[in-house]
Amino acid sequence: MGYIILANDGISHPGKTRLEEDGHEFLDVKVAQNQLIDFINEKKVDVILVRSATTVRQDVIDACPTLKIIGRGGVGMDNIDVEYAKSKGLHVINTPNSSSRSVAELVFAHFFTLARNLQEANRHMPLEGESKFSELKKLYSNAVEIRGKTLGVIGFGGIGKEVIRMGIALGMKPMVLSTAQSNELITIEFFDGQSVDFAISTYDSLKEFLPEVDFLSINVPKTKSYLIDEKELGLLKKTAIVVNTARGGVLNEEALLDALDNEKLAGAALDVFEEEPKPGMRVLMNSKISLSPHIGGSTEDAQEQIGIDLAIQISDIYNNRI
């Protein structure tokens, strides 16, 4: 008899199949947060798997003695009291690299959107494309190429490294800001089996890093205070573009709006917001901001891999392999 597993925020079919093949019982239900403790105790759940909707705080951990594993499908675990769970002898697992590629591709989707003014063109073409085609063509011809520009990446984890790989492949010059200076090789693999290594040295000073950047990608865990505030935005070029796919609260949205409105910044993209799930209307309506609803890792490919990676870790724990 394997574990009894509740994937409360869902899990991919391949992940579920693998868990069942490994002998675990899978509970295919969605339990409301206020009913979670009672359900776990009634069903004697061993493993709870969550994404971002369900929280597993101290109250759940204390009230549910059958729990052995808390799993997070994704990178950040700010919805779980990780250290407390570990202090109580629970395993806490996540999938830090499963969605890296998907998040990095969204970063560049926003980069391309902003470089070619698509966030505005997509709003205006349905309304004015027929009557003002020539005017819109002229208006949105003020665009730039990505090749040859400096790509700044804050954070040197799995997502940051994928962003760097894509940038290099597109002919960009990479710069990395990390809390600890380091030198690492980044390998870019091609379809025919060939690969190329690039040596990357990191910066540890925003003051030295930001003024050089043309396209900035923020890829860090949740921070207690703003990492990018008015002062930091002021260090960027007026032509710079900023994309945040990390966490809401890493970037000061009010300072960002002021920088955009006063032409101190060319454009920005937000996949995460300070006020989720109700972002501020000024953010949503600003024509210089490209928007998406926290979908960085939301691809079928990433979700399949997340499920598989969670299933592997769960079976490894059950069989005392880790």
Structural domains in the chain?
4-98+300-318 (3.40.50.720), 100-291 (3.40.50.720)
**Average pLDDT of every residue of the chain:** 95
Give percent of the chain with pLDDT exceeding 90: 92
At 66-98, the pLDDT tens digits run 999 999 998 889 899 999 999 999 999 999 899
User: 10 Å Cβ neighbour count for 163?
Assistant: 33
Q: Which residues are catalytic?
A: 247, 276, 294
At 215-241, the pLDDT tens digits run 999 999 889 999 999 999 999 999 999
Question: At residue 1, does pLDDT exceed 80?
Answer: no
- Take residue 310 and report the two structure tokens written for it: 């969670």
- pTM (2 d.p.): 0.90
pLDDT computed for residue 28 by the predictor? 80
Q: 3-state SS string over 203-264?
A: ECCHHHHHHHCCEEEECCCCCCCCCECHHHHHHCCCCCEEEECCCCCCECHHHHHHHHHCCC
Biggest CA-to-CA distance, the chain = 69
- The residues near 141 (Cβ < 8 Å, ≥ 6 apart) are none
The CA–CA distances, whole Å, from 266 to 60, 225, 252, 311 equal: 45, 24, 16, 43
Gyration radius (Cα) of the chain, Å: 22
User: 10 Å Cβ neighbour count for 36?
Assistant: 22
At 117-133, the pLDDT tens digits run 999 999 999 999 999 99
The CA–CA distances, whole Å, from 264 to 70, 111, 121, 136, 311 equal: 44, 18, 22, 24, 47
| 218 beta partners | 154, 244
- Take residue 277 and report the two structure tokens written for it: 């799930």
Question: At residue 181, does pLDDT exceed 80?
Answer: no
